[in-house]
Copies of this chain bind each other. A is one copy, B any other.
Amino acid sequence: MRIKIINPNTTLSMTKNIQLAGQKFVSPDTEVFAVSPSTGPASIESYYDEYLAVPGVIEEILKGDKEEKIDAYVIACFGDPGLYAAREVTDKPVVGIAEAAITVSKFLAPNFSIVSVLDRSRKMSEEMVRMHGAEDRCKSIRSTGLSVLEFDRNLEKGLKALSEVSLKAVEEDGAESILLGCAGFVSFVDDLQERLGVPVLDGVSPAVKLAEILVSMGCRTSKFLTWGYPENKQIIGYENITSLQNTRV
């Protein structure tokens, strides 16, 4: 089985860490690799960033289907950018990491808090919580005030900031599990879990495992209506995408 992780931003050092996290718990016969798209922003912290990242994500999925014999995809950014579009262009399972972290936490704890990067991304995390049906479960969303790239540059400082806000989430907000709200946090899971005494989840490892079982059960995305292949029509620009595309005739 081949699972392709798409880090929707173009910072390759993050892509490498994400690949390690994706491989952490994987079955022996599963091949996991992570890529960054050929276009897009160095990190995703605004709606603007997100929309400029998605075409690259779509391209990587189409390429995966046409050229790489991929069995399932993971979108490795906590905003799950382009998740529904991805499900339209392929019938292979696609899993987002916000989706995966929220999903797995529901089995382990009655509630969670999300600890994240900049304050401005808070609304995106709220949208993830709502999109994945966890409004009753989310105790709080706390941010460290550090940007995605600051984390990437200074892991130690990042870990310290994450520890502090996570501890507040547990002690003041009553969180019984912690979700790491950025794919750049994958290296901190074990450290944090030990310090906090509650389950700590990054989304990447769970997403890969979820993708694995969807494949092993033979699951395909429902093409019945909403996530059917896009209608065939003229598209200007995006030749890299349209040349790869499957459409509903």
User: A residues touching B (Cβ–Cβ < 8 Å)?
Assistant: 10, 25, 27, 38-43, 45-52, 54-56, 58, 82, 84-85, 87-89, 93-95, 99, 103-104, 106-111, 118-120, 122-123, 132-137, 147, 149, 170, 174, 176-177, 197-199, 205-206, 209-210, 212-214, 216-222, 224-228, 230-231, 233-238, 241
Residues of chain B within 8 A of A58, CB atoms compared: 48, 51-52
Complex partner residue of A176 from B52, B56, B205, B225, CB under 8 angstroms: B225
Knowing A95-B107, A221-B109, say if A51 contacts B82 (CB, 8 Å): yes
Q: What chain B residues lie within 8 Å of A176 (beta carbons)? A: 222, 224-227
Q: Cβ of A233 and Cβ of B85 under 8 Å apart?
A: no
- A197 contacts which of B46, B122, B137, B224 (Cβ < 8 Å)? B224
Kindly report which residue of chain B lies nearest to residue A231, judged by CB atoms: B45
Per the bound structure, the CA–CA distance linking A228 and B45 in Å amounts to 11
Nearest-CB distance from A211 to chain B (Å)?
A: 9
Question: Is the pair A43, B233 in contact by a Cβ cutoff of 8 Å?
Answer: yes
Q: Is the CB of B225 within 8 A of A217?
A: no
Chain B residues near A136: list those with CB within 8 A.
Answer: 133
Number of copies of chain A assembled together: 6
Q: Which 4 A-B pairs have the closest CB atoms?
A: A133-B133, A39-B237, A109-B222, A209-B213
Beyond known contacts A47-B84, A107-B214, A212-B213: 19 more, CB 8 A cutoff? A25-B218, A39-B237, A40-B236, A41-B235, A43-B233, A45-B230, A52-B237, A52-B238, A93-B107, A94-B107, A95-B107, A109-B222, A123-B226, A132-B133, A133-B136, A133-B137, A149-B233, A176-B224, A209-B213
Q: Assuming the A-B contacts A107-B210, A238-B52, are A25 and B216 also in contact, with contact meaning beta carbons closer than 8 angstroms in the complex? A: yes
CA distance A157 to B197 in the complex (A): 31
Given A198-B224, A225-B174, A226-B122, also A236-B38 (CB < 8 A): yes
Question: Complex Cα distance A133/B132, Å?
Answer: 8
**A219, chain B: closest CB distance, angstroms:** 6
In the assembled complex, which residues on chain B have CB atoms less than 8 Å from the CB atom of A197? 224
Residues of B within 8 A of A214 (CB): 104, 107-108
